Amino acid sequence: KAGVTQTPRYLIKTRGQQVTLSCSPISGHRSVSWYQQTPGQGLQFLFEYFSETQRNKGNFPGRFSGRQFSNSRSEMNVSTLELGDSALYLCASSSGGVLGNTIYFGEGSWLTVV
């Protein structure tokens, strides 16, 4: 069974540009969440999608957005990049149930903003 797949694994962008990251969840999983990991702040929740609808959102500016497609694949977009957006962006998938659902993470996309 394939795990959570994230692309690209590494990318470098310039301040002011935008970036799109992609995530393919585990087959059968309908919930996809995104997290940002930095050395100073640790892992922080960005947003969660279930059946193409955003169910939860973290405390990030509107420059961070996402969407989920009918096949449960998800993308997140960051516009007008800032140096502080440099981080490991992690995607996680689960069945999305209220209880008893294990949350699995992908290997992440390393974003460097210069």
The residues with which 22 forms a beta bridge, in sequence order, are: 7, 75
For the CB of residue 108, give the shortest distance to another protein in the complex, in Å. Answer: 5
Q: Report how far residue 110's alpha carbon sits from residue 13's, in angstroms, rounded to the nearest whole number.
A: 11
Tell me the C-alpha to C-alpha distance, in Å, between residue 69 and each of 7, 17, 47, 55, 72. Answer: 16, 24, 15, 14, 5
Which residue in 91, 82, 96, 81 sits closest to 35, CA to CA?
91
**Does residue 71 belong to the site contacting another protein (CB under 8 A)?**
no
Assess whether the previous peptide bond of 61 is cis (omega < 30° from 0). no
Q: Which is nearer to another protein, 44 or 86 (CB)?
A: 44
Instruction: Using the rule CB under 8 A, give the single segment among 18-26, 61-69, 77-85, 88-96 that binds another protein.
Output: 88-96
**Does residue 90 belong to the site contacting another protein (CB under 8 A)?**
yes
Which one among 2, 14, 28, 42 touches another protein, defined by CB under 8 A?
Answer: 42
Judge contact between 5 and 104, C-beta under 8 A. Answer: no
**Does residue 55 belong to the site contacting another protein (CB under 8 A)?**
yes
For the CB of residue 67, give the shortest distance to another protein in the complex, in Å. Answer: 17
- Return residues touching another protein (CB under 8 A): 4, 6, 31, 33, 35, 42-45, 48, 50, 55-56, 58, 90, 92, 94, 96, 98-100, 102-108
